[in-house]
Chain A
Amino acid sequence: AAGVIQSPRHLIKEKRETATLKCYPIPRHDTVYWYQQGPGQDPQFLISFYEKMQSDKGSIPDRFSAQQFSDYHSELNMSSLELGDSALYFCASSYQGSYNSPLHFGNGTRLTVT
Protein backbone atom coordinates (compact mmCIF):
# COMPACT_ATOMS: atom_id res chain seq x y z
CA ALA A 1 0.00 0.00 0.00
CA ALA A 2 1.17 3.52 -0.74
CA GLY A 3 2.60 5.39 2.23
CA VAL A 4 3.44 8.98 3.02
CA ILE A 5 6.55 10.02 1.12
CA GLN A 6 8.90 12.69 2.38
CA SER A 7 11.84 14.19 0.58
CA PRO A 8 14.65 14.59 0.98
CA ARG A 9 15.48 11.97 3.61
CA HIS A 10 18.52 13.91 4.77
CA LEU A 11 19.39 17.56 4.41
CA ILE A 12 22.44 19.46 5.59
CA LYS A 13 22.32 23.24 5.66
CA GLU A 14 24.35 26.03 7.17
CA LYS A 15 23.10 28.64 9.58
CA ARG A 16 21.01 31.36 7.98
CA GLU A 17 20.30 29.25 4.90
CA THR A 18 16.85 28.15 3.77
CA ALA A 19 15.41 24.67 3.42
CA THR A 20 12.34 23.20 1.79
CA LEU A 21 10.88 19.89 2.91
CA LYS A 22 8.31 18.08 0.82
CA CYS A 23 5.53 15.69 1.76
CA TYR A 24 3.37 13.55 -0.49
CA PRO A 25 0.34 12.17 1.38
CA ILE A 26 -1.35 8.86 0.85
CA PRO A 27 -3.69 9.06 -2.18
CA ARG A 28 -7.17 10.37 -1.21
CA HIS A 29 -5.90 11.79 2.07
CA ASP A 30 -6.93 15.42 2.34
CA THR A 31 -5.18 16.47 5.55
CA VAL A 32 -1.48 16.94 6.17
CA TYR A 33 0.31 17.50 9.47
CA TRP A 34 3.89 18.54 10.16
CA TYR A 35 5.79 17.59 13.30
CA GLN A 36 9.29 18.37 14.54
CA GLN A 37 11.19 15.90 16.71
CA GLY A 38 14.47 16.91 18.31
CA PRO A 39 17.00 14.35 19.60
CA GLY A 40 15.51 12.41 22.49
CA GLN A 41 12.32 14.44 22.40
CA ASP A 42 8.69 13.72 21.58
CA PRO A 43 7.16 14.92 18.30
CA GLN A 44 6.02 18.55 18.46
CA PHE A 45 3.07 19.63 16.34
CA LEU A 46 3.91 22.45 13.92
CA ILE A 47 1.02 22.98 11.52
CA SER A 48 -1.75 21.19 9.63
CA PHE A 49 -3.69 21.69 6.42
CA TYR A 50 -7.08 20.45 5.30
CA GLU A 51 -8.15 20.79 1.69
CA LYS A 52 -5.28 23.18 0.97
CA MET A 53 -6.21 25.54 3.80
CA GLN A 54 -4.28 25.90 7.05
CA SER A 55 -6.41 24.23 9.68
CA ASP A 56 -4.35 24.56 12.86
CA LYS A 57 -1.06 25.84 14.10
CA GLY A 58 1.24 24.73 16.87
CA SER A 59 4.68 25.84 17.97
CA ILE A 60 5.89 26.79 14.52
CA PRO A 61 8.48 29.61 14.39
CA ASP A 62 7.68 32.65 12.29
CA ARG A 63 10.71 31.75 10.15
CA PHE A 64 8.82 28.67 8.98
CA SER A 65 5.95 28.61 6.54
CA ALA A 66 4.04 25.84 4.86
CA GLN A 67 1.38 25.24 2.31
CA GLN A 68 -0.65 22.47 0.75
CA PHE A 69 -0.96 22.39 -3.02
CA SER A 70 -3.79 21.42 -5.36
CA ASP A 71 -2.44 17.86 -5.62
CA TYR A 72 -2.48 17.73 -1.76
CA HIS A 73 1.28 17.54 -1.39
CA SER A 74 2.72 19.92 1.16
CA GLU A 75 5.95 21.84 1.58
CA LEU A 76 7.52 23.20 4.73
CA ASN A 77 9.76 26.19 4.07
CA MET A 78 12.34 27.10 6.68
CA SER A 79 14.36 30.29 6.49
CA SER A 80 17.20 31.81 8.50
CA LEU A 81 18.04 28.37 9.80
CA GLU A 82 19.42 28.08 13.31
CA LEU A 83 21.41 25.29 14.95
CA GLY A 84 18.36 24.49 17.06
CA ASP A 85 16.34 23.65 13.95
CA SER A 86 18.34 20.44 13.59
CA ALA A 87 15.75 17.72 14.03
CA LEU A 88 13.67 15.07 12.35
CA TYR A 89 10.68 16.54 10.56
CA PHE A 90 7.72 14.24 10.08
CA CYS A 91 4.77 14.66 7.84
CA ALA A 92 1.55 12.73 8.42
CA SER A 93 -1.64 12.47 6.45
CA SER A 94 -5.21 11.43 7.17
CA TYR A 95 -8.63 11.42 5.55
CA GLN A 96 -11.05 13.68 7.39
CA GLY A 97 -14.00 12.15 5.61
CA SER A 98 -13.48 9.07 7.78
CA TYR A 99 -14.35 9.93 11.35
CA ASN A 100 -11.21 9.86 13.48
CA SER A 101 -9.02 8.53 10.72
CA PRO A 102 -5.63 7.77 12.29
CA LEU A 103 -2.52 9.59 11.15
CA HIS A 104 -0.12 7.88 8.76
CA PHE A 105 3.43 9.13 9.10
CA GLY A 106 6.29 9.29 6.65
CA ASN A 107 9.80 8.32 7.67
CA GLY A 108 10.84 11.90 8.05
CA THR A 109 13.47 14.32 6.83
CA ARG A 110 16.54 14.62 9.01
CA LEU A 111 17.69 18.24 8.91
CA THR A 112 21.17 19.06 10.16
CA VAL A 113 22.11 22.72 10.50
CA THR A 114 25.85 23.41 10.85
Chain B
Amino acid sequence: LAKTTQPISMDSYEGQEVNITCSHNNIATNDYITWYQQFPSQGPRFIIQGYKTKVTNEVASLFIPADRKSSTLSLPRVSLSDTAVYYCLVGGVDSSYKLIFGSGTRLLVRP
Protein backbone atom coordinates (compact mmCIF):
# COMPACT_ATOMS: atom_id res chain seq x y z
CA LEU B 1 0.00 0.00 0.00
CA ALA B 2 1.33 3.40 -0.94
CA LYS B 3 2.27 5.49 2.09
CA THR B 4 1.48 9.18 1.95
CA THR B 5 3.23 12.16 3.50
CA GLN B 6 1.64 15.58 3.91
CA PRO B 7 2.52 18.74 5.84
CA ILE B 8 1.10 18.60 9.35
CA SER B 9 -0.43 22.06 9.20
CA MET B 10 -0.86 25.12 7.00
CA ASP B 11 -2.09 28.64 7.63
CA SER B 12 -3.78 30.89 5.11
CA TYR B 13 -6.01 33.95 4.84
CA GLU B 14 -9.43 34.32 3.35
CA GLY B 15 -9.40 34.81 -0.40
CA GLN B 16 -6.00 33.20 -0.94
CA GLU B 17 -5.24 30.11 -2.97
CA VAL B 18 -4.01 27.17 -0.91
CA ASN B 19 -1.93 24.34 -2.29
CA ILE B 20 -1.44 21.17 -0.23
CA THR B 21 1.09 18.67 -1.53
CA CYS B 22 1.08 14.96 -0.80
CA SER B 23 4.04 12.64 -1.42
CA HIS B 24 3.38 9.03 -2.42
CA ASN B 25 6.67 7.69 -3.73
CA ASN B 26 5.62 4.04 -4.01
CA ILE B 27 2.31 4.58 -5.77
CA ALA B 28 1.27 1.56 -7.83
CA THR B 29 0.34 1.63 -11.49
CA ASN B 30 -3.36 1.09 -10.81
CA ASP B 31 -3.60 3.48 -7.85
CA TYR B 32 -5.77 6.58 -7.89
CA ILE B 33 -5.25 9.61 -5.66
CA THR B 34 -8.23 10.81 -3.64
CA TRP B 35 -8.53 13.78 -1.33
CA TYR B 36 -10.94 14.07 1.58
CA GLN B 37 -11.87 16.95 3.87
CA GLN B 38 -12.82 16.43 7.50
CA PHE B 39 -14.42 18.85 9.94
CA PRO B 40 -14.34 18.13 13.70
CA SER B 41 -16.68 15.33 14.76
CA GLN B 42 -17.80 14.70 11.17
CA GLY B 43 -16.99 11.96 8.72
CA PRO B 44 -14.46 12.70 5.98
CA ARG B 45 -15.98 14.12 2.80
CA PHE B 46 -14.79 13.37 -0.73
CA ILE B 47 -13.28 16.38 -2.50
CA ILE B 48 -11.60 15.18 -5.68
CA GLN B 49 -9.94 12.19 -7.31
CA GLY B 50 -7.43 11.80 -10.10
CA TYR B 51 -5.01 9.44 -11.83
CA LYS B 52 -2.71 11.74 -13.78
CA THR B 53 -2.31 15.30 -15.08
CA LYS B 54 -5.00 17.68 -13.85
CA VAL B 55 -8.52 17.29 -12.58
CA THR B 56 -10.84 20.14 -11.69
CA ASN B 57 -14.28 20.25 -10.13
CA GLU B 58 -16.43 22.96 -8.59
CA VAL B 59 -14.46 23.09 -5.34
CA ALA B 60 -10.84 22.17 -6.09
CA SER B 61 -8.16 21.21 -8.59
CA LEU B 62 -5.78 18.28 -8.38
CA PHE B 63 -2.40 18.39 -10.06
CA ILE B 64 -0.49 15.15 -10.61
CA PRO B 65 2.94 15.20 -12.29
CA ALA B 66 3.96 12.63 -14.87
CA ASP B 67 5.84 10.42 -12.37
CA ARG B 68 2.78 10.42 -10.06
CA LYS B 69 4.98 10.37 -6.96
CA SER B 70 3.21 13.41 -5.57
CA SER B 71 0.00 15.34 -5.98
CA THR B 72 -1.17 18.83 -5.11
CA LEU B 73 -4.63 19.80 -3.99
CA SER B 74 -5.41 23.39 -4.90
CA LEU B 75 -8.21 25.28 -3.15
CA PRO B 76 -8.95 28.59 -4.87
CA ARG B 77 -9.95 31.60 -2.78
CA VAL B 78 -10.37 29.84 0.56
CA SER B 79 -12.91 30.99 3.13
CA LEU B 80 -13.13 30.50 6.89
CA SER B 81 -15.33 27.45 6.29
CA ASP B 82 -12.42 25.70 4.55
CA THR B 83 -10.69 25.33 7.92
CA ALA B 84 -10.49 21.55 8.23
CA VAL B 85 -8.16 18.57 8.00
CA TYR B 86 -7.32 17.40 4.49
CA TYR B 87 -6.30 13.83 3.73
CA CYS B 88 -4.67 12.37 0.65
CA LEU B 89 -5.39 8.66 0.07
CA VAL B 90 -3.81 6.45 -2.51
CA GLY B 91 -5.37 3.19 -3.61
CA GLY B 92 -6.69 1.19 -6.51
CA VAL B 93 -8.27 -2.08 -7.47
CA ASP B 94 -5.65 -4.08 -5.55
CA SER B 95 -6.12 -2.13 -2.33
CA SER B 96 -9.60 -0.71 -2.61
CA TYR B 97 -10.86 -2.67 0.39
CA LYS B 98 -8.23 -1.25 2.76
CA LEU B 99 -7.86 2.46 2.21
CA ILE B 100 -5.44 3.86 4.77
CA PHE B 101 -5.50 7.41 6.10
CA GLY B 102 -2.11 8.94 6.72
CA SER B 103 -1.54 12.02 8.84
CA GLY B 104 -3.62 14.76 7.31
CA THR B 105 -2.94 18.46 6.88
CA ARG B 106 -4.66 20.79 9.30
CA LEU B 107 -5.55 23.93 7.35
CA LEU B 108 -6.39 27.07 9.31
CA VAL B 109 -7.94 29.92 7.36
CA ARG B 110 -7.74 33.29 9.11
CA PRO B 111 -9.91 36.37 8.46
Q: Are A108 and B42 in contact (CB under 8 A)?
A: yes
In angstroms, Cα B44 to Cα A108, docked, is 10
Binds B, one of A14-22, A77-85, A99-107: A99-107
Cβ contacts under 8 Å, B87 to chain A:
42
* Residue A64 CB within 8 A of the other chain: no
- For A72, list chain B residues within 8 Å (CB): none
In the complex, are the beta carbons of B41 and A108 less than 8 A apart? yes
Let me know if A90 and B44 touch, CB within 8 A: yes
Q: Are A56 and B98 in contact, with the CB atoms below 8 A?
A: yes
Whether the Cβ atoms of A103 and B99 lie closer than 8 Å is yes
Q: Could you say which residues of chain A place their CB within 8 Å of the CB of B49?
A: 100, 102
Q: Are the CB atoms of A45 and B101 closer together than 8 Å?
A: yes
The CB with the most chain A CB atoms within 10 A, among B96, B100, B103, B104, is that of: B96
Distance to closest chain A CB from B52 (angstroms)? 13
Residues of A within 8 A of B96 (CB): 31, 94, 96, 100
Q: How far is the CA of A93 from the CA of B104 in the complex (A)?
A: 21
B21 to chain A minimum Cβ distance, whole angstroms, is 18
CB pair B41–A45 under 8 Å, yes or no, is no
Contact of A108 among B34, B43, B92, B98 (CB under 8 A): B43
B86 to chain A minimum Cβ distance, whole angstroms, is 11
* B104 neighbours in A (Cβ, 8 Å): 42
Say yes or no for B77: interface residue by CB 8 A criterion: no
Q: Are A99 and B93 in contact (CB under 8 A)?
A: yes
What residues of chain B lie closer than 8 Å to A33, measured between beta carbons? 97, 99
Shortest C-beta distance, A59 to chain B (Å), equals 10
Fill in one digit per residue for B35-47: 1 if any A CB lies within 8 Å of its CB, else 0. Answer: 0100001111110
B76 within 8 A of A: no
Chain A residues near B (Cβ < 8 Å): 4, 31, 33, 35, 42-45, 48, 50, 55-58, 88, 90, 92, 94, 96, 99-100, 102-108, 110
15 cross-chain CB contacts under 8 A: A31-B96, A35-B101, A42-B102, A43-B101, A56-B98, A88-B41, A90-B43, A92-B44, A102-B34, A102-B49, A103-B34, A105-B44, A105-B45, A107-B43, A108-B41
